Structure 1
Amino acid sequence: MNLTGNLQRLTCLLWLAGFSASGHTVQTPENWQPWHHSDLFSVAYQKRTDQPLQIRVTGQWPGISAKSVINLLNDIDSVPLWVKHVSTVTILSRPASNQTRVLTHFDLPWPLRKRDMLTHACLLQVSKASYLLKIRSVAEPAPAPGVIRIEPVTVQWRLTERDNAVEIDYQISADLQGGAPQWFVDKVALRNTRTSFNALHELLQTQGVRAQPWALVPGNTCPFE
């Protein structure tokens, strides 16, 4: 069962996400159930019949910019520092300056089978201080023989800069496929989401303020909803 749980460390993967909170109070409709609250962030979830668990993380991180978050999410060398069992991350293409296609491989412990995830990310500028990163799974090219594809994947990050802080609203829904018991998968997914966001915040603090260009240049169009 512990090995099966390792799968859920994938659910917090990098370029998946969404933001829009006041402070770091979770502002969700009634069907969002609170699960975790700390000074750094809050985690809520909702579960619909026969649908993957949907997870939402909200928080306000002082001294951190939206650009630093986007750049870290797109830093393929840093992914293993906050997401376990990632073997390789490859940028396949950049369809536009605000878009990227990424293939991520996960090398999980026996007896679990290898997974991959093929995603298309698009960064939008909503206002002068607000950005929206959308991520969706892509079907082609097909996974290699013996590799299970994580799909469908829907991720959204909304990042809003205010008072020298970034407000984060992250939402994700991802079907890991395979035959793991769904109740157990959901439970571990929540725990590992909390772990990954703690690690992400620590990395952002370690990096500090850097004068770097955007890894993705915020745009005003996206090829998907």
Structure 2
Amino acid sequence: MLDITLKNIQVNLPDKSKLFHVDHLHIPFGEHVLVKGKSGQGKTTLLHLIAGLLKPDQGELKIGSESLINLNDNQLCQMRREKIGVIFQKLNLLDHLTVKENVLLSSQNVGSVLDDVGLAQCADTRCSVLSLGEQQRVAVARILAQKLDIILADEPTSSLDEENTQFVINALKKKAAGKTLVVVSHDDRLTPYFDRVLQFSEVIR
């Protein structure tokens, strides 16, 4: 099983001073976890560690039995392609492509994901003319179209109103049924949707 385990993890700033330290964090496979905290504490960094986009300065980080510390860049890229999807705060959409074309870049199986995030009517619209909230939903749809064991999301509802927040979170939870979902956010509206809610300030020291 692809449990997420962090032990004695430390991340330093460029000047070598400590950003944060995690003594122990265990997320069993299939759990849906919300990590809440203020901006600037390091929530995005934590998500990037779990995705293998960043290596800690010390400690042990495992996905299942695989130590991410020991994998090279190609192996980490393969793991992300096959197992881990990341919804970034910076959306990384191609503005000149349509909504559907952006989703097709990550998967040929678009299916009902645009319906799930309330964007079916925008399938042939270029992303450059969408609102920020609509672009955020495209980024979510792009991950939902893939078959992944772990979904990581960085502030996926920060630009969404109440109705579209429900669209996105329900779609994420539907896609992640039986899989792992980790969301980092400062959005208090998300709390009722999650099995487990962690305060980031309690995870780190």
Common fold: TM-score over 0.5: no
TM-score of the aligned structures, taking structure 1 as reference length? 0.26
TM-score of the aligned structures, taking structure 2 as reference length? 0.28
Higher strand share: 1
Higher helix share: 2
